Amino acid sequence: MVDKKKVIKLKKQYLIFFLILFLFLNYFLFFKVGKGNIEYLKHYQYFDEKENYILSYASMKHAKKYQVTIKKNKEVIFNQTTSSKTIDFSLPQVKKGDDIQIIVKGVNLLGLSRTVSKRIKVENPILKVNAVSSSHDSGKINGFKQIILNSHTENAKIYYTIDGTPPSKSSLVYERPIYISKSMDIKAIAVLDGYEDSEVSTFSYQLLDKRPIVYLSPSTQGDNYGVESVGYTTEKEMMNKIADIVYKRLVENDIVVYRNKKVTTHKEAALDSKKYDVDLHLALHSNASDLSQKGKYSGIETWIYDDNCVIAKEIAKKLQSNLFSIYYKKNSGNRGVKTSIDVGGLLETNPKYVNNGILIEVAFHDNRQDAKWIVDNIEKIGNNIANSIISYYKEVSK
């Protein structure tokens, strides 16, 4: 007779044997962290004098994370855990000629690990152009967005693509803001003689609605009185009349328009504008001389924050030129496009608070002739301002 107890015991032994074998094989085939090596450490100095290092190491099979440690004279000066096999970092404690030890420990899901180590002498940094940045973060966008690229490297030339291909020196040259007419990926590099090209920067945009979005902010100053004898009441009333005309004309041309109907201060208008992510914030005002020189000055002027506001500057130049073309004085009164940063900064032009902020001073309400020109030409002024905005967006979208 077969001894059932021996059979059961034997089966258990076989089962344990195969289980151990299974675990053993799995350890080597599926769990054990594979060999790796440190491929390179690149030391870069950027145009703005910031220095950083890029470390690359071969991927260790089955490793899910890497513990990177750098030592100088046995002292840990850098320690970071990452899932990437390339990391960049700064080492302010290190200078040319220093010996450092790089230790990379690959760890798998079971906590099993393997460590590789390498000693490196720090060399002179490679001069490198700063990476390209964008005025808009990647993501979903509404409105007539124009992307401003910048490498923050003086005299660097930016090359870019919009078809998903890697940029090179034979790609499109960035010369002006890029109009987003459809969903697209912008890839860009910055290049400067004597420097290594920047890393490729990628910005992805999903366009939901490409109609321009404009915020009209006529003056809320109801206590600014003009020359009453010619029919000029208050700055608030007259600028709102002009805004009514601008609003109507823009909407007729498929432009989305918001207004400062429920706000009472410049700051409230800026906050209201910001929530709509507008493409243009246009404040409408009339000007006035100091009380001691009341009525002395005349003319039209347009304000932006500074010359770095390239889109606002383009639109402002068009607004100023076109509005002056209908002004009653032909040889004087063109006070030009001005930068408010020089006079402390006008809130409704400041890019911290509004997008592409412009403030128009539509003549002087304390000057008799200027005030009369405004009163007699409300519709003409409103249509002129609206037509400047419409023509700008049409030209850019071609």
Where residue 10 falls among pLDDT bands split at 50, 70, 90? low
373 part of a folded domain: yes
Nearest to 283 by CA among 204, 364, 362: 362
Q: Residue 105 sits in a domain of what CATH number? A: 2.60.40.10
Residue 101: CB atoms within 10 A of its CB come to 16
201 part of a folded domain: yes
Residue 362: CB atoms within 10 A of its CB come to 28
The DSSP symbol for 342 reads: G
26 part of a folded domain: no
29 part of a folded domain: no
10 part of a folded domain: no
CB within 8 Å of 134: residues ≥ 6 apart: 147, 148, 149, 186, 201, 203
**CA 94 to CA 37: how far, in whole Å?**
23
Domain that holds residue 326: 213-396
Pairing of strands 201-209, 213-218: unpaired
In our burial notation (b when 16+ CB lie closer than 10 A, e otherwise), range 299-324 reads bbbbbbbeeebebbbbbbbbbbeebb
175 part of a folded domain: yes
**203: helix, strand or coil:** strand
Above 60 in pLDDT, residue 29? Answer: no
Nearest to 111 by CA among 21, 29, 27, 55: 27
> Looking at residues 165-193, what average pLDDT do you find?
94
Cβ–Cβ < 8 Å for 279, 179: no
Q: Could you tell me if 254 and 303 lie in one domain?
A: yes
Cβ–Cβ < 8 Å for 168, 86: no
Q: Residue 162 sits in a domain of what CATH number? A: 2.60.40
Q: Could you tell me if 260 and 333 lie in one domain?
A: yes
Between 29 and 5, the more confident residue is 5
Q: Could you tell me if 160 and 230 lie in one domain?
A: no
Q: Could you tell me if 255 and 375 lie in one domain?
A: yes
**CA 321 to CA 287: how far, in whole Å?**
18
Where residue 23 falls among pLDDT bands split at 50, 70, 90? low
pLDDT digits over 186-238, tens only?
Answer: 999 999 999 999 999 999 999 998 899 999 999 999 999 999 999 999 999 99
pLDDT digits over 77-135, tens only?
Answer: 999 999 988 888 888 888 888 999 999 998 887 788 889 999 989 888 888 999 999 99
8 part of a folded domain: no
Residues forming beta bridges with residue 234, ordered by sequence position: 225
pLDDT digits over 132-156, tens only?
Answer: 999 999 999 888 888 999 998 889 9
Q: Could you tell me if 45 and 59 lie in one domain?
A: yes
Cβ–Cβ < 8 Å for 119, 100: yes
**CA 79 to CA 224: how far, in whole Å?**
63
Cβ–Cβ < 8 Å for 152, 48: yes
For the chain, the average pLDDT equals 89
From 209, 225, 259, give the residue that closes a domain: 209
Residue 7: CB atoms within 10 A of its CB come to 10
Q: Could you tell me if 240 and 353 lie in one domain?
A: yes
Determine the number of helices (DSSP H) and then strands (DSSP E) in the chain. 6, 23
Residue 126: CB atoms within 10 A of its CB come to 12
Q: Could you tell me if 106 and 51 lie in one domain?
A: yes
**Residue 256 confidence (pLDDT):** 95
From 150, 185, 209, give the residue that closes a domain: 209
**Residue 187 confidence (pLDDT):** 97
| 315 token code pair | 């639109």
pTM: 0.71
Q: Could you tell me if 191 and 281 lie in one domain?
A: no
Above 80 in pLDDT, residue 49? Answer: no
Q: Could you tell me if 192 and 298 lie in one domain?
A: no
Q: Could you tell me if 42 and 103 lie in one domain?
A: yes
Q: Residue 224 sits in a domain of what CATH number? A: 3.40.630.40
pLDDT digits over 269-295, tens only?
Answer: 999 999 999 999 999 999 999 988 999
| 233 token code pair | 């009441």
Q: In total, how many domains does the chain have?
A: 3
Cβ–Cβ < 8 Å for 348, 228: no
177 part of a folded domain: yes
Where residue 15 falls among pLDDT bands split at 50, 70, 90? confident
From 184, 209, 234, give the residue that closes a domain: 209
**CA 128 to CA 116: how far, in whole Å?**
29
Q: Could you tell me if 230 and 321 lie in one domain?
A: yes
Q: Could you tell me if 256 and 336 lie in one domain?
A: yes
The dihedral built from the CA positions of residue 185, 191, 197 and 198, taken in this order, carries a sign that is: negative
